[in-house]
């Protein structure tokens, strides 16, 4: 069984009458599947990712076991947070699409765009939510995955980020602007450290440099950074360097020069890290963008 098949099969525990119409494993943090199911009883459990589900057709005689009076319908969405478990009654044929995304990628997005502690990212459980904007973005992303099943393309990346932004701002359990947690970095410290990393991305960055920017000891800073960003300083810096490489690959800049300007001591190190995170070498990624 392929990695994509394993990932998607693990998402649904279906007794019978269900079939996968299409499946796309974009990378280790994101996957998409299209399903058809007929009259059935379904137990759903997904321990390794969040699930955003959109009914494409049918659902008017279906409900979740704990909400029997709340019936589904075409065009509605369900959001099932990571670790969610539920039972469903399917009263007739349904076509639907699932977007699976890890908690890690969602929290990386939150740390990058909201300058708030990622411990505040706690998605709500939604059942048959009407949201035309989110539905349109999800359908657009599925279309990108269908046309470019190995990577979804630049438009797909933009749509995925838009989906994350919409979900966090509308369907998060906490208001990111109103809540504060004990421990971790303050929003000001987060802004200062992010700005320093962005400004010095082509240079050698030390823990002492980053800690000094936040006014903390290196040991204390490392712990607080991990709490607020959901990843270590080293992981964050490497991710930002890879993002910068991806942007520069849109140009004709030589790979060796890209490596030097994004903080890699050698082109070979850039290539190995890029392949580890993106799944392609920088050269293959550049060729794929123009193909």
Residue 116 has pLDDT above 90, yes or no: no
Question: Closest Cα partner for 201 from 159, 245, 164, 141?
Answer: 245
Residue 16 has a pLDDT of 42
Residue 273 has pLDDT above 50, yes or no: yes
pTM over 0.95: no
- Average pLDDT of the chain is 84
Q: Round to whole Å and give the CA distance between 239 and 90.
A: 42
Mean pLDDT of 202-212: 88
Q: ∠ at Cα 238 (233, 242), nearest 5°? A: 150
Q: Round to whole Å and give the CA distance between 282 and 113.
A: 25
**Tens of pLDDT, residues 12-58:** 444 445 676 667 776 778 989 888 888 888 888 888 899 999 999 99
Identify whether the C-beta of residue 132 lies closer than 8 Å to the C-beta of residue 45: no
pLDDT band at residue 8, thresholds of 50, 70 and 90? very low
Domain boundary assignment for the chain: 3-171, 187-290
Question: Closest Cα partner for 137 from 165, 176, 175?
Answer: 165
pLDDT band at residue 197, thresholds of 50, 70 and 90? very high
**Tens of pLDDT, residues 208-249:** 899 999 998 888 888 889 888 888 898 899 999 999 999 999
Tokens of 12: 């649904």
Question: Closest Cα partner for 201 from 168, 251, 236?
Answer: 236
Residue 13 has a pLDDT of 42
Residue 176 has a pLDDT of 58
Residue 134 has a pLDDT of 96
Residue 114 has pLDDT above 60, yes or no: yes
**Tens of pLDDT, residues 157-181:** 778 888 998 999 899 887 655 555 5
**% of the chain at pLDDT higher than 70:** 86
Tokens of 212: 């000094």
In this structure, the number of other CB atoms found within 10 A of the CB of residue 15 comes to 9
CATH domain 187-290 topology: Arc Repressor Mutant, subunit A (1.10.10)
Residue 192 has a pLDDT of 93
Cβ neighbors of 162 (< 8 A, separation 6 or more) are: 137
**Tens of pLDDT, residues 133-159:** 999 999 999 988 887 655 566 578 778
Does the domain at 3-171 match CATH 2.60.120.10? Answer given as: yes
Q: ∠ at Cα 126 (31, 66), nearest 5°? A: 115
Q: Round to whole Å and give the CA distance between 267 and 244.
A: 14
Mean pLDDT of 196-209: 89
The number of residues making up the chain comes to 291
């Amino acid at each position: 069984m392929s990695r994509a098949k394993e990932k998607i099969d693990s998402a649904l525990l279906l007794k019978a009458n269900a079939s996968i119409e299409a499946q796309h494993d974009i990378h280790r943090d994101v996957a998409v599947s299209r399903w058809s199911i007929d009259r059935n009883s379904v137990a759903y459990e997904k321990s390794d990712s969040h699930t955003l589900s959109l009914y494409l057709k049918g659902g008017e005689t279906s409900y979740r076991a704990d909400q029997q009076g709340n019936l589904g319908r075409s065009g509605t969405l369900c959001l099932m947070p990571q670790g969610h478990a539920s039972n469903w009654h399917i009263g007739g044929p349904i076509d639907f699409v699932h977007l699976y995304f890890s908690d890690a990628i969602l929290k990386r997005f939150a740390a990058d765009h909201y300058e708030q502690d990622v411990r505040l990212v706690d998605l709500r459980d939604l059942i048959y939510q009407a949201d035309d904007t989110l539905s349109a973005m999800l359908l657009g992303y599925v279309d990108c995955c269908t046309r470019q099943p190995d990577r979804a393309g630049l438009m797909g990346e933009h749509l995925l980020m838009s989906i994350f932004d919409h979900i966090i701002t509308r369907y998060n359990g906490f208001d990111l602007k109103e809540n504060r947690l004990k421990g971790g970095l303050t929003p000001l410290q987060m802004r200062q450290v992010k700005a320093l990393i962005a400004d010095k991305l082509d240079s050698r960055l030390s823990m002492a440099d980053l800690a000094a920017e936040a006014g903390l000891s290196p040991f204390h800073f490392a712990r607080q950074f991990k709490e607020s960003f959901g990843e270590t300083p080293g992981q964050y810096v490497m991710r930002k360097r890879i993002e910068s490489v991806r942007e520069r690959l849109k140009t004709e800049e030589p790979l060796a020069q890209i490596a030097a300007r994004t903080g890699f001591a050698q082109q070979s190190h850039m290539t190995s890290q890029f392949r580890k995170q993106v799944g392609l070498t920088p050269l293959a990624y550049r060729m794929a963008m123009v193909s």
